[in-house]
Structure 1
Amino acid sequence: MNRLLRFVLTAAVALPAWLWPAAARALEPVTLQLKWTHAFQFAGYYAAKELGYYRDAGLDVTLVEGSPSADPVRNVLSGQAQYGVATSSLLLARQAGQPVVALAVIFQHSPAVLITPAGGAGRSLRGLLGKRVMIEAQSDELLAYLALDGVTAGRFVRVEHNDRPQDLVEGKVDAISAYVTTEPYYFDQAKFAYQIYTPRTAGIDFYGDNLFTTEAEIRAHPGRAKAFRDASLRGWQYAMAHPQQIAELIRSRYSSAHSLDFYLSEAAAMAPLLRTDLIEVGYMNPLRWRHIADTYVSLGQLPRDFSLQGFLYQPDPKLDLSWLGSALGLLAAISALAAYIFRINRRLATALDDSKRAGRALRDSEERHRLLTDHASDLIWTMDLDGRFTYLSPSAEKLLGYRAAELLPQTLAATLAPTSAAIATTGLQGLIAAIRAGGPVPAFRHELEYTHKQGGTVWTEATVTGMRNGAGHYTGLLGVTRDISERRLIEERIRHLAQHDMLTGLPNRALFSDRLQLALAGARRDHRQLALLFIDLDLFKPVNDQLGHRTGDLLLQDVAQRLLDCVRESDSAARVGGDEFVVLLRSIDNAEAALGVAEKIRHSLSRPYLVASHALRISASIGVALFPEHGGDEIELSKHADIAMYRAKRAGHDRVQLYQGG
């Protein structure tokens, strides 16, 4: 037998190279494009390379350092790299037709922030209007954050990022994009007082530093993609458990640009963003990706029908053992008896190992899911097919003020506001009916308004699907309820910005036009008069020229407030140009009444102003046109009010002029 086994082993050594497992073949070269310069931010990849995890997976990995202007998506799509690290803007790339695929999430919360000198932007980002902001490429979440406060493209001076936080200290820029894990270290060392603005305060909570590849890579090399992902995540687990060792490795092998203390500080700041204590590194939640996509939708950067189909990587659980079949076939031809012994021993060992691994995996999975549900910020619940709750996660108390035990005896409808209760009842009844009919079971997804224990309501987004047991039979419903109160406020704010002047808060030209047309329709129906006032400020340009646009903006805000103080709530005032305003008086008795309101406005606007320590005086020229006497539609009425205003200006400013015809 020993002689026979020696013969078998000798023959096996002579097998062609393609029949050997991956670890015994030549290593496959692949490239990973990092998104920034070498730092602990990429610790897991250094660990996977230096500890041999990539080598064990049959890969020879080259790590390419990024730069402030690097575009990992472009480099991966062009073939310069097979894998890359990028922000959640991968969704925008996907929508643009670039076939990127998210392999794993490293940062559960993005570290991207904006930093200004202490007090530099004030209480909101509006303080950055007209200021110099050094911001790196691929900073969509920060640009969206700025836009929510009205600091849109063109309203601030964008400076290309040069990776020099010292520029903020020296006053060369007014704000910089940064990572909360790195730049604060520099400023603390320099004893520089700074202020951090994070998008998470505005409900923009994105994933950060996502590992990605392309559809073509997964299609052509599925085994390689899985091996690269698994080895990388193994490296991340090790790196976060051994920060001192990996920090020393980075300094000795990759970059000595920073001190060891810097890398350790970065590692400590990363821990609450990765949350490896609660969530397995690399974990991706499809609902969280959907929430990120919905945030882009609310900002107008993605269409409402954007699909995640194909974007999230689904590793193939099947192992490629074709080489083993070929090898065993060849060995069987050499010696049937040796192959038989080999297979039996291998099966016994594998079965024992699989049994142990399965038991450990089941316990780990149960513990992981318990941690995820017990610590989830979303409310996770299950319900039987009679509509009774069977489980509610502890987050119920944070979301609704009720402990889970208080809600369990109630129906879902009893926890909702009346309108939402009707929607939810209809939706759940439809799901349960589909389950009992044995047909397709669609998911129910809707925005629902819950009542809070302390009063008031909470807006949520609920996703409900059928829940199966191990045999594949439906046993109830699984629901995930997410607080979207902040998102609804953001959406409402975006709608407001689309219809209102950003500086004064007054309606803009589009909204005023809608209101004027509605008022005209009502006036025709009720056979009553209305008046349109065109207002142009006198002597406003010298204020801008001599004291600057900031003072001019403050003056316009005071003008807007004085206009509102002069009209009724049923009337409307709007800003339609730089220093041009209009007022709609929805119902007037006669021309004298309209002229009386116009004189009240003229007198109010001519009173002195105190703006930014400057005592200022301006006046206004006001033109008045009446419906139906001076026009039967919006265009005609507006034209005649405008003519009357210019006649008031030519007559010497600071006066009211009723349209006279001609």
Structure 2
Amino acid sequence: MPDKVTLQLAWKHQFQFAGYYAALAKGYYREEGLEVTIRECRRGVFARESLLSGQAQYGVAGSELILHRAEGDPFVVLAPIFQHSPSILVTRKDSGIETPHDLIGKRVMMLPGKKDADILAVLKNENIGMNSIKRLDQSFDLNDLIDGRTDAFSAYLTNEPWYLESIGITPGIIKPLSYGVDFYGDCLFTTDREVEKHPERVNRFLKASLRGWEYAMAHHEEMIDIILARYGVKKERAHLRFEADAIQKCMLPDLVRIGHMNPGRWRHIADTYVELGMLEPDYSMKGFLYDPDPAAGYRWMKWAFYILVVVSLLIGLIAALLFIFNKKLKKEISERKQAEEALKESEARFRALFENVPAAIQGYSPDGTICYWNRASEDLYGYTREEAVGNNIIDLIVPPELHEHVLNTIRRAVETGIAAPSEELMVMRNDGSPVSVLTSYVVLKNNRKVPEFYCLDVDLTQRKQLQNRLEQARKAEAISCLAGGIAHQFNNVLSGITGNVDLLEMIYPGEENLLRHTGRMKKAALRMADLTSQLVAYAKGGKYQPDTISVHDFVSRTLPLIKHAVDPAVKVEVDLPVDSGSIKADKAQMQMVLMALLSNASEAMEGRDNGQIRITGKSGMLTSADAEGFPGLKPGNYMKLSVGDNGKGMDEMTRKRIFEPFFTTRFLGRGLGMAAVYGIIKNHEGWIFIESEPDKGTTVKIYLPAVENIVKKHVVPKPAPVKGSGTILIIED
């Protein structure tokens, strides 16, 4: 007749106890003459109570067994199945509870007594008293955590986290191992009485159980089938697989023999309990750890001593031999470490240099595959390092018309080993926009058969903009000198004409035919005078009567005077703060500037609906670095005035010529408006430039030196009588 025994589990039927199911299903218990009943845990029925009452002969529990032994319970540990305890406290991640200290003042649901000893050890280890938390009895219902009836729930790493993740709740996990508590888990145990009265049965039960565990850990899917078919488990297959994988990590069957028990580690566990005040310092482990053959253990210790002596002698001999070479070896190791450290430091230095140099550097293989991409390349081309590395540089930034040229450059470098000379290329950004760069090539030959290529690209965009502005300034300066000379000669000629016309009118005051012709002559002369005044303005001459004016007040008062220059269908918006700043300028000339800009903006929107002109301005500092982009400007505080429209815009050729005298895009007109604007602004020590693209509108930006607001008291001079006689001669040049 087989011996009938009962195994009391620590929890409900699940993969956590697969080894015992395997021993039963595969007949290992039967082969050992045992008829085993496996009983799952029920509310209030745990392994400790079942063994003490005699309802079961074997049970599964945690490392708290040593505490029960110290309290007088006659428990004997046969084998720890889990090398690391899977006990955890699980929380909802969205509760913000991540550490034991976050539990203070919170509800914590735990097993009664010391059954969650490793969790209790964590709390004591972190100086968290039991009166600092609200301890609740374990309900075995995870819905208490899900629905907020508790803040933390004692659980197993192999089980409850899967439940939470399966319903979309991210679990928070407090693991004892993370806080220095590393206990055995799921220990198979029995009583002194069972060991004393049935030593052979204990040995057979342990042997069959461990054999079952070996089979279970090698046949996960088969065991899942058995659990689902025979034990009424309602878990999903995916859940049982998750549990099997987690248990594999707790048992480490590939590294440690299943059931291996180290007395030294048990002493460490007991010492931990002592330090936490959970166990008396004079505890005894006598009889606590199962020893199937004490005599064999003694013989093993005797042989182990002999072997230790022999090994010690051998080690001493080897140490003596090694000592001879030790100094030399230490020196070589030291030198090698120094060389390695120097190499690492050098690599780090050059890596930092490459990453932070303000030039785009790319490394690539002979076929164009990118292997290096620094931060400046990310900024210049708009591709991150992850997007660029592994792709071909030809496809990434080289336009189709340059494919053949770049491939030939690489091919020649491969054949000759000599990098091509630096050259200027127009390549592409991530958004498809072109960018002009000065490219320098480097070929690196190393121990590899295939050389590496590096490109260093310098963005020429700002340099070209500055060159264009310098070219524009020089051109405008040359033209202004010519315009000034012409205007001077025109004024001299016009003075003679208008003077003689006045003399004719004085000599023949009653001749209507003559006066009609002289009137026409005077009108033509006035038009020419207006033209020469614009030429003088362009040439930085003309009448210049500066005064401190508020830009906000100036624009507000000038717009009504020049509204005739703007199409009534065009909407004019002004965004100028009252305290936007003041400038020192000739009010009449600045009115000419504003009228010319508004007139041009209005004409640019002919035939377009919803025409809009926007005038904005603000004061701000122009740094030395900023001033480099505006030839002739000095660093300081400037008033920045912008006049923008949503008209038809202009192409690059038109934009470059817009300030030339007599240049116009209209059939009619003198073409001197913008030329005069340029001269006036330059005469006021300012700068003007235009941003425009076809069909995207135009924005004229003006920089004028800002001044502090000065309130002048208007003094009315006392009238004085005019006395004397004489002749007044007025000469205007």
Structure-2-length-normalised TM-score = 0.41
Higher relative contact order (CA 8 A, sep 6+): 1
